Amino acid sequence: MEGVLQGQVAVVTGASRGIGAAIAERFAAQGAKVVVTARTVEDNGNYLPGTINETVDNIVAAGGQALAVQADLAVAADRAKVVREAQAHFGGVDILVNNAAITYFIPVETFPEKRFRLMMDVQVWAPFELSQLVIPGMRERGGGRILNISSHAALHPDKQLPGRGGTVYGMCKAALERLTTGLAQELYADNIGVNVISPGLVATPGVMHHKLINDSNRDTVTPIEHMAEACLRLCYGDAQQLTGRIDYADDVMREFELSAPS
77-130 pLDDT tens trace: 999 999 999 999 999 999 999 999 999 999 999 999 999 999 999 999 999 999
Those residues with Cβ within 8 angstroms of residue 78's Cβ, 6 or more apart along the chain or in another chain: 70, 71, 72
User: What are the tens digits of pLDDT across the range 3-52?
Assistant: 999 999 999 999 999 999 999 999 999 999 999 999 988 776 565 678 99
Average pLDDT, the chain: 91
Beta-bridge partners for 195: 147
64 against 262, higher pLDDT: 64
**What is the separation of C-alpha 25 from the centre of its chain, rounded to a whole number of angstroms?**
13
Share of the chain above pLDDT 90, in %: 81
Banded model confidence at residue 209, pLDDT cuts 50, 70, 90: very low
Which helix (H) or strand (E) covers residue 28, if one does?
helix 18-29
Q: Which of 94, 77, 131, 96 is nearest to 20 (CA)?
A: 96
pLDDT at residue 206 in the model: 52
Those residues with Cβ within 8 angstroms of residue 208's Cβ, 6 or more apart along the chain or in another chain: none
Q: What's the CA gap between 245 and 99, in Å, rounded?
A: 16
Three-state helix/strand/coil letters over 123-139? HHHHHHHHHHHHHHHHH
pLDDT at residue 240 in the model: 97
pLDDT at residue 42 in the model: 76
Q: How far is CA 101 from CA 1, 3, 126, 206, 220, in A?
A: 30, 29, 10, 10, 22
169 is catalytic: yes
pLDDT over 80 (residue 262): no
Contact (CB, 8 A) for 69 and 117: no
Banded model confidence at residue 210, pLDDT cuts 50, 70, 90: very low
Banded model confidence at residue 146, pLDDT cuts 50, 70, 90: very high
The answer regarding whether domain 9-255 maps to CATH 3.40.50.720 reads yes
Q: Of 104, 169, 188, 236, which residue is the catalytic one?
A: 169
Burial class of residue 216 (count of CB atoms within 10 Å of its CB; 0-12, 13-18, 19+): exposed
User: What are the tens digits of pLDDT across the range 172-194?
Assistant: 999 999 999 999 999 999 999 99
Query: Looking at beta carbons, which pairs linking 237-241 to residues 24 or more positions away fall under 8 Å?
Result: 239/143, 239/144, 239/145, 239/191, 239/192, 239/193, 240/188, 240/191, 240/193
